[in-house]
């Protein structure tokens, strides 16, 4: 039975809808450490660097889960990988209700939940966009980035509110239940490829400008990692995404709330500001997906990194709510907006079949940068008494990423491989 007939919604959009919900919940779970640093300090007496190290471990394993999941998608399909990732999240988060020692946090949150959230992350979204779509791929990637932002927007304030009203264990229950419930729609509705439902990829065979724009310079085959990793373009994509992680997930995601509280803002105000960043990123990431289908992806990345760098350079001196909200708007518009052009450049430069693996390792570079920032932020705060140096280092690195983005060579049409 075909799902492409006139008047019917293409099944690709059903897959997008379920994936959107999965990314929304799992990204909210991944962002939770920023809201739990202070409660863990208060109850267990753990110091800031030790908690930051647990967050760093989680970010590294989150990053490892991405290429691991990406490489396994070709063998087992997106459905099984999504189910496995959600199951690992439940197994990692639920036992935290009983934790008493610091190593419990490192193992459960740092390793188990880290790998689970990494398997169900933007790399999985990029693979789904590549497998199910020939047209409007940038828009789909933008929607998935918006899901990540929406998860932060919904979950972080909810976690803070539950922690203040009850305690941090109520937030843990929310996360475990949220991941467990999602196993049902994934099992019922996610399919590995269009052929499984008697359809072709969305936009396949359409000879229009949008289809041409999304597939220009792209081939269906792939490029082995050992070949891609030696190329200048791949190195620049990975290096710029390393900086992306340092300047976003690692520093802002983990340390923004403690920084804001220490600057005189209330916990609810700090969490609400982080939620505003997520709200603006929904706008920014969806817009970035639309722009990715139409404009030079390298220039888009340069603009995003430049705006992010400038906002981080002024953050240490913001002490009033109005400037803080301006920061949230500017930073939020490009928080995850880098994902659509980076994933699209990977497909155009190295072929659709290699996106899961190659973008997976680029994403790993992102999470290594995030882990470094999470740890450096905690150490800098402990040694210097505030986060000023950490934010200034992130702003400087953002300017370096502008140069890396502009150094990527424009994708050229790739010939289809000849017969063996």
| Residue 257's CATH number | 1.20.1250.20
CA distance linking residue 10 with residue 232, whole number of Å: 38
How many folded domains does the chain comprise?
A: 1
In a domain, 416, yes or no: no
- Identify the pLDDT of residue 29: 84
In a domain, 294, yes or no: yes
- Identify the pLDDT of residue 210: 44
- Identify the pLDDT of residue 195: 87
In a domain, 318, yes or no: yes
- Identify the pLDDT of residue 20: 92
In a domain, 419, yes or no: no
In a domain, 215, yes or no: no
- pTM passes above 0.75: no
Residues (pLDDT < 70) of the chain are 1-7, 34, 66, 70, 205-222, 352-353, 411-420
For 364-377, how does the pLDDT look when each residue is reduced to its tens digit (9 = 90+)? Answer: 898 889 888 888 88
For 386-402, how does the pLDDT look when each residue is reduced to its tens digit (9 = 90+)? Answer: 888 989 999 999 999 99
In a domain, 415, yes or no: no
In a domain, 413, yes or no: no
Domain that holds residue 265: 11-195+224-407
In a domain, 6, yes or no: no
């Amino acid at each position: 039975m075909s799902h492409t007939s006139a008047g019917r919604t293409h099944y690709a959009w059903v897959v997008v809808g379920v994936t959107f919900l999965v990314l929304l919940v799992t990204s909210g779970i991944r962002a939770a450490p920023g809201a739990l640093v202070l409660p863990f300090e208060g109850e267990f007496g753990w110091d800031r660097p030790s908690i930051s190290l647990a967050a760093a471990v989680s970010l590294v394993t989150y990053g490892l889960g991405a290429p691991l999941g990406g490489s396994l998608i070709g063998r087992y399909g997106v459905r099984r990988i999504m189910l496995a990732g959600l199951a690992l999240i439940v197994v990692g988060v639920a036992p935290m209700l009983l934790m008493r020692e610091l190593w419990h946090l490192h193992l459960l949150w740092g390793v188990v939940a880290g790998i689970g959230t990494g398997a169900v992350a933007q790399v999985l979204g990029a693979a789904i966009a590549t497998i199910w779509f020939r047209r409007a791929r940038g828009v789909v990637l933008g929607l998935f980035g918006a899901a990540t932002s929406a998860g932060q927007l919904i979950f972080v304030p909810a976690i803070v509110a539950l922690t203040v009203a009850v305690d941090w264990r109520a937030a843990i229950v929310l996360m475990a239940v949220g991941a467990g419930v999602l196993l049902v729609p994934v099992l019922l509705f996610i399919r590995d490829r269009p052929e499984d439902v008697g359809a072709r990829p969305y936009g396949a065979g359409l000879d229009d400008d949008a289809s041409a724009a999304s597939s220009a310079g792209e081939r269906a085959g792939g490029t082995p990692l050992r070949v891609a990793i030696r190329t200048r373009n791949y190195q620049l994509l990975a290096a710029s995404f390393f900086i992306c992680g340092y300047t976003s997930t690692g520093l802002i995601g983990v340390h923004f709330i403690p920084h804001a509280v220490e600057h005189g803002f209330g916990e609810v105000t700090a969490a609400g500001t982080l939620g505003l960043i997520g709200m603006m990123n929904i706008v920014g990431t969806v817009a970035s997906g639309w722009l990715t289908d139409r404009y030079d992806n390298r220039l888009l990345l340069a603009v995003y990194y430049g705006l992010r760098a400038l906002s981080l350079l002024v953050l240490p001196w913001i002490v009033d709510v109005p400037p803080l909200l301006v920061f949230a708007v500017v930073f939020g518009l490009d928080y995850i907006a880098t994902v659509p052009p980076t994933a699209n450049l990977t497909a155009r430069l190295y072929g659709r079949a290699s996106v899961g693996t190659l973008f997976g390792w680029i994403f790993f570079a992102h999470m290594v940068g995030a882990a470094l920032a999470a740890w450096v932020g905690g150490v800098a705060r402990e040694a210097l008494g505030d986060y000023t140096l950490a934010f200034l280092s992130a702003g400087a690195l953002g300017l370096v990423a502008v140069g890396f983005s502009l150094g990527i060579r424009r994708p050229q049409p790739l010939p289809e491989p000849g017969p063996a």
